[in-house]
Amino acid sequence: MYPKSLDAVIRAGDTMRAVVLASATNEGGMTHGISLPIGYDITKDAQKLAKQRDDHTVDEMTALARQNIRNGRAKHEADEKKKKETWTTERARFLKYEKQRHEKQQKQQKEMKLKKEKEEQRRQQLLREWQRKRQQELGSKVENSV
């Protein structure tokens, strides 16, 4: 399984197993919570930031680090709005793709059902014809033996 863009999945007709909407790895030169390893201590990161920036205390930097806001509030809100819009757009595309895939599966199932019904009807017809011929053969043998 390889990561592909949604367009590539739809174009190839592959089965979609997951959608990655966003990854905040190394955004703005920092690592955000979405990609932090298990056991990561945010306080150490805050202490490092406080040393780099003398204008903030460790507590203020901890609060900023916990909120994943390191580039200022206005930028953060703009990023969040963009992420939400992207998520909404991708979700709509995903739902459209899933609906089309579901409709295609239903159509294929319906076609298979009709095909099986036709095959069964043909099989029954051939069986009746064979039985009729067999009865005629047996009837002619009985007449010839009398």
Q: Over 80: is that where the pLDDT of 86 sits?
A: yes
Which pLDDT belongs to residue 124?
A: 97
Residues 29-35 have a mean pLDDT of: 53
Q: Over 60: is that where the pLDDT of 29 sits?
A: no
29: left (phi over 0), alpha (psi -120 to 50) or beta: left
Q: Over 80: is that where the pLDDT of 93 sits?
A: yes
pTM above 0.75, yes or no: no
Q: Pick the closest to residue 45 from 68, 25, 77 (CA basis).
A: 68
Residues 105-125 have a mean pLDDT of: 97
pLDDT > 90 in the chain, percent: 25
Task: Name the more confident of 55 and 118.
Answer: 118
Lowest mean pLDDT among 8-22, 41-55, 58-72, 123-137: 58-72
At 40, list the tokens: 């990561």
Q: What's the DSSP call for residue 27?
A: B
Lowest mean pLDDT among 13-17, 56-60, 91-95, 131-135: 56-60
Cβ atoms of 64 and 43 within 8 Å: the answer is: no
Which pLDDT belongs to residue 63?
A: 56
Quick one: three-class SS letters along 28-82? CCECCHHHCCCCCCHHHHHHHHHHHCCCCCHHHHHHHHHHCCCCCHHHHHHHHHH
